[in-house]
C-alpha cells in the first residue's frame, strides 16, 4: 500500500499554498483533482511536473476502483480540490470514506496499509471566520443551501438553530443565488423576530475581495449596488 495525501490548495491567491503542500505535490506519483485545467494553473506556477488524474463528484465507481488499485500498487497520491481543503463541501470525503472502508485503515496509522495524511491549508470557511469578529469558538457550518424543494426547510432550520443554539451559522452560496438567499434570510429574520448581524465575504484572497458587514438588509443593499461575481461565504450571528 501507499500514502494518500489530502492537500489544501489556495482559494484564490496562488501564494497561499504551504511549502509542505508544494513539496508533497512534487513528490507524489499522481495528483487527483476536480478539474485538471484549474489544478494545472497552480502546478505551472510552482513548476510541478507531477501527472494529474481527474476525480470529481460525477466520477463513477470504475474511477474510484482505479484509484484504489493505484494505491494498492504502491503509488503515492495527492488529492486536491479546485480550491480550499478537500472534503469540505467537496466530493473528496466520499473517496476517503470508500478507501477507509475498503482497506479498514486508520488515518496516519503508520502500519503497512493505506495511510491518509492531511496537509492543512486554505479554507474559505475558516478564512471568513477569522475576520468576522463574531465569537467563533463554536459555530455551525451548513455547506451550500439546497436549490429547490428543501430550500425553505433549510432556512427554517437555520433560524431555529440561531434562536436555540445562539452561536453563528456559516454557509456558502453562489453569485447567482446570493441575493435570493439573503432576502430569504431577511424574511426569516422578521418571522423569528431576530435582527442578526451578518458578514458576507466575496472573492476571498482574490483581487476583488470584498467584505460586507452589518444588518441583513444593509448588506443586501450593498451587494445589489456592486457587480456580483465569485463565490460567497456567509456568516450569520
Indicate if 57 and 131 belong to the same structural domain. Answer: no
What pLDDT is stored for residue 107 in this prediction? 47
Instruction: Please determine, for residue 110, whether its predicted confidence score (pLDDT) is greater than 70.
Output: no
**pLDDT above 70: percentage of residues in the chain:** 95
Count of structural domains, the chain: 2
Domain edge (last residue) among 94, 122, 150:
122
Please give the mean pLDDT across all residues of the chain. 90
Indicate if 210 and 138 belong to the same structural domain. Answer: yes
Indicate if 117 and 10 belong to the same structural domain. Answer: yes
Indicate if 158 and 222 belong to the same structural domain. Answer: yes
**Once rounded to an integer, what is the mean pLDDT over residues 139-152?**
88
Indicate if 216 and 203 belong to the same structural domain. Answer: yes
Indicate if 145 and 62 belong to the same structural domain. Answer: no
Partners of 77 in the β-ladder? 4, 30
Write down the H helix ranges in the chain: 19-27, 36-45, 61-72, 92-103, 124-132, 151-165, 178-191, 216-225
* Cβ contact 49:55 at 8 Å: no
Domain edge (last residue) among 122, 139, 174:
122
Cell 510552482 -> residue: 46
Indicate if 118 and 178 belong to the same structural domain. Answer: no
Instruction: Please determine, for residue 150, whether its predicted confidence score (pLDDT) is greater than 90.
Output: no
Question: Confidence band (pLDDT; 50, 70, 90) for 11?
Answer: very high
What pLDDT is stored for residue 20 in this prediction? 98
Cell 489544501 -> residue: 8
Q: Of 20, 19, 211, 213, which is closest to residue 124 (Cα–Cα)? A: 211
What pLDDT is stored for residue 123 in this prediction? 95
Q: 10 Å Cβ neighbour count for 230?
A: 16
- At 34, which CATH number? 3.40.1010.10
Indicate if 223 and 155 belong to the same structural domain. Answer: yes
User: Is pLDDT larger for residue 94 or for residue 118?
Assistant: 118
**Once rounded to an integer, what is the mean pLDDT over residues 195-199?**
93
Question: Confidence band (pLDDT; 50, 70, 90) for 216?
Answer: very high
3-state DSSP assignment of residue 198: strand
**Once rounded to an integer, what is the mean pLDDT over residues 192-199?**
90
What pLDDT is stored for residue 104 in this prediction? 64
User: Is pLDDT larger for residue 201 or for residue 57?
Assistant: 201
- Can you give the residue range of the structural domain that contains 79? 3-122
Indicate if 195 and 226 belong to the same structural domain. Answer: yes
Indicate if 40 and 69 belong to the same structural domain. Answer: yes
* Cβ contact 205:13 at 8 Å: yes
Domain edge (last residue) among 89, 122, 155:
122
**Once rounded to an integer, what is the mean pLDDT over residues 152-160?**
85
What pLDDT is stored for residue 106 in this prediction? 46
Indicate if 139 and 177 belong to the same structural domain. Answer: yes
Taking CA atoms, 7 is separated from 10, 76, 85, 119, 203, in Å, by 10, 13, 7, 5, 21
Partners of 34 in the β-ladder? none
Amino acid at each position: 500500500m501507499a500514502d494518500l495525501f489530502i492537500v489544501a490548495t489556495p482559494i484564490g491567491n496562488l501564494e497561499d499554498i504551504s511549502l509542505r503542500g508544494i513539496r508533497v505535490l512534487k513528490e507524489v506519483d499522481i495528483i487527483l483533482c476536480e478539474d485538471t485545467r484549474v489544478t494545472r494553473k497552480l502546478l505551472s506556477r510552482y513548476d510541478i511536473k507531477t501527472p494529474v488524474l481527474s476525480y470529481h463528484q460525477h466520477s463513477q465507481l470504475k474511477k474510484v476502483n482505479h484509484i484504489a488499485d493505484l494505491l494498492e500498487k504502491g503509488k503515492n497520491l495527492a488529492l486536491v480540490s479546485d480550491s480550499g481543503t478537500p472534503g469540505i463541501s467537496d466530493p473528496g470525503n466520499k473517496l476517503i470514506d470508500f478507501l477507509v472502508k475498503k482497506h479498514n485503515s486508520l488515518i496516519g496509522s503508520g502500519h503497512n496499509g493505506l495511510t491518509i495524511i492531511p496537509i492543512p491549508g486554505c479554507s474559505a470557511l475558516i478564512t471568513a471566520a477569522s475576520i468576522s469578529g463574531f465569537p467563533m469558538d463554536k459555530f455551525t457550518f451548513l455547506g451550500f443551501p439546497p436549490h429547490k424543494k428543501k430550500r425553505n426547510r433549510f432556512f427554517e432550520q437555520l433560524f431555529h438553530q440561531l434562536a436555540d443554539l445562539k452561536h453563528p451559522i456559516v454557509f456558502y452560496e453562489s453569485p447567482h443565488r446570493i441575493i435570493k438567499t439573503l432576502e430569504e434570510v431577511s424574511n426569516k429574520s422578521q418571522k423569528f423576530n431576530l435582527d442578526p448581524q451578518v458578514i458576507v465575504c466575496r472573492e476571498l484572497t482574490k483581487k476583488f475581495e470584498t467584505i460586507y458587514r452589518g444588518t441583513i438588509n444593509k448588506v443586501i443593499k450593498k451587494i445589489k449596488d456592486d457587480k456580483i461575481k465569485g463565490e460567497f461565504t456567509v456568516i450569520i450571528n
